[in-house]
Amino acid sequence: MADPRAAVEAGLDALERGGLRRERRVLDSPQAARIVAGGKPLLNFASNDYLGLANHPRLRAAAHEAIDRYGVGSGASPLVVGHQRPHQEAEEKFARFCGLPRALLFGSGYAANLGILTTLADRHADVFCDKLNHACLNDGALLSRARMVRYPHADLDALGRALAASSASTRIVASDAVFSMDGDVADVPALVALCERHDAWLVLDDAHGIGVLGASGRGVLEHSACSSGRVVYMATLGKALGSHGAFVAGSPLVVEWILQRARPYIFSTALPAMAAAAASAALDLLEEDAGIVQALHANIARFRAAASRLAGLRASRTAIQPIIAGSPEAALSASRRLLERGLLVPAIRPPTVPPGTSRLRVSLSAAHSAEDVDLLVSALAEGAA
Ligand SMILES: *Cc1c(COP(=O)(O)O)cnc(C)c1O
């Protein structure tokens, strides 16, 4: 009989040889535009903290206050006794903020997507997924045991044909709103129209759109001036909103069904109240002052204008700006060269992106100064020359 450890060793060796073995960097600072990692100060273009809220004084104060009033752990799943006042208030705030009737707080975006898809889909359902969707939408579809149909990225003709050919009792289209490794935005009005025509749910994952898209950062629904009772909207709190967790929002009917049935909701401890309170504070901040969102938009525009001649730069209007290098080695060596200059820009490699499209993935933040953006662009231009 084979030693099961041998297969694991062989797997790790294969990762190593393929340049695909990942290593973590230990941060000795808060998440911010400037961080300290491995004793070294770095200008950070790697985080999803798009608005610089992860260490914002308002969010810190809200978290401290929640700890003082509600303690650290929630102590139970939400349906047992873990749903505290800050969770309830956060849900009401999210619903208002994104303009949907009701919202439900989850422990993470990953758990939320598993919860949505396993609640709405079963063995008799068809789930249609964009090829470039985030892994957790795919995992949710797989776990639901529905038939999973992956359509070519953003190919809505192909999606329309697949929907027309489906005779499933339940149809669900699942799409990233902002594609996490490319930064492009899904055509939500066209997706809504298709879902209405073919009686399907539209699950929209706005992890990278909330706080980023729309003039006031309300996300893809504001950006596309679009709403529909078909939409099941998911947005995370751990990216632009600077906290942790996620919410699912939509019609009262579908949110109530998810609350009753979603296993990641029912069988998992509620978020700490401080995470909910910090996320609420982020929404208050954005409602009072759209200046933070506008600062991010200004940095995106500055980067795009300065970097337009870089080979491999993909079209993106969001905080995610990919520059395709090709092989994992090419992306890694470009990332290492930037690191030597104190610039942290991650190399993204398979399986996160398709083979042959390894890339540098620049994440911009409202907390970057114009000089930070200029410094990055000139380093990228020199590296490419
Ligand atoms: C980060 C991310 C998630 C997962 O959210 P977490 O709260 O980090 O679990 C889901 N979908 C997309 C598109 C993401 O980028």
Residues 138 and 247 placed together within one structural domain of the fold: yes
pTM for the structure as a whole: 0.96
Please state the domain count of the chain: 2
> Rounded mean pLDDT of 133-162?
98
The string of pLDDT tens digits covering residues 198-221 is 999 999 999 999 999 999 999 999
Q: State whether the beta carbon of 236 lies less than 6 angstroms from ligand 1.
A: yes
Residues 247 and 360 placed together within one structural domain of the fold: no
Residues 280 and 312 placed together within one structural domain of the fold: no
Q: State whether the beta carbon of 243 lies less than 6 angstroms from ligand 1.
A: no
Residues 112 and 224 placed together within one structural domain of the fold: yes
| Gap from CA of 131 to ligand 1 centroid (Å) | 16
Q: Is 65 part of a structural domain of the chain?
A: yes
Residues 38 and 73 placed together within one structural domain of the fold: no
Give the C-alpha distances (Å, rounded to integers) separating 196 from 171, 190, 213, 230, 279: 11, 10, 24, 7, 32
Q: Annotated active-site positions, please?
A: 180, 208, 239
CB 240 within 8 A of CB 49: yes
Residues 222 and 127 placed together within one structural domain of the fold: yes
Residues 100 and 172 placed together within one structural domain of the fold: yes
Q: How far apart are CA 60 and CA 72, in angstroms?
A: 14
Tell which of 288, 313, 332 closes a domain. Answer: 288
Tell which of 264, 288, 312 closes a domain. Answer: 288
Residue nearest to atom 2 of ligand 1 (CA): 207
**pLDDT for residue 279:** 98
Residues 281 and 309 placed together within one structural domain of the fold: no
Q: State whether the beta carbon of 116 lies less than 6 angstroms from ligand 1.
A: no
The string of pLDDT tens digits covering residues 266-292 is 999 999 999 999 999 999 999 999 999
Which CATH number fits the domain that encloses residue 155? 3.40.640.10
Q: How far apart are CA 16 and CA 233, in angstroms?
A: 38
Q: How far apart are CA 244 and CA 231, in angstroms?
A: 23
Query: Taking all residues of the chain, what is their mean pLDDT, rounded to a whole number?
Result: 96
Which CATH number fits the domain that encloses residue 304? 3.90.1150.10
Residues 243 and 303 placed together within one structural domain of the fold: no
Q: Is 7 part of a structural domain of the chain?
A: no
pLDDT at 383 over 80: no
Residues 102 and 173 placed together within one structural domain of the fold: yes
**pLDDT for residue 384:** 58
| Closest-CA residue to 200 (of 164, 235, 158) | 164
Residues 222 and 358 placed together within one structural domain of the fold: no
pLDDT at 15 over 80: yes
Tell which of 255, 273, 288 closes a domain. Answer: 288
Q: State whether the beta carbon of 140 lies less than 6 angstroms from ligand 1.
A: no
Q: State whether the beta carbon of 115 lies less than 6 angstroms from ligand 1.
A: no
Residues 222 and 297 placed together within one structural domain of the fold: no
User: Which domain range does residue 207 map to?
Assistant: 59-288
Residue nearest to atom 3 of ligand 1 (CA): 109
Q: Is 299 part of a structural domain of the chain?
A: yes
Residue nearest to atom 5 of ligand 1 (CA): 109
Quick one: 24 exposed, middle or buried, by C-beta within 10 A (0-12, 13-18, 19+)? exposed
Please identify, by atom number, the ligand 1 atom nearest to the C-alpha of residue 108.
7
DSSP state of 80: I
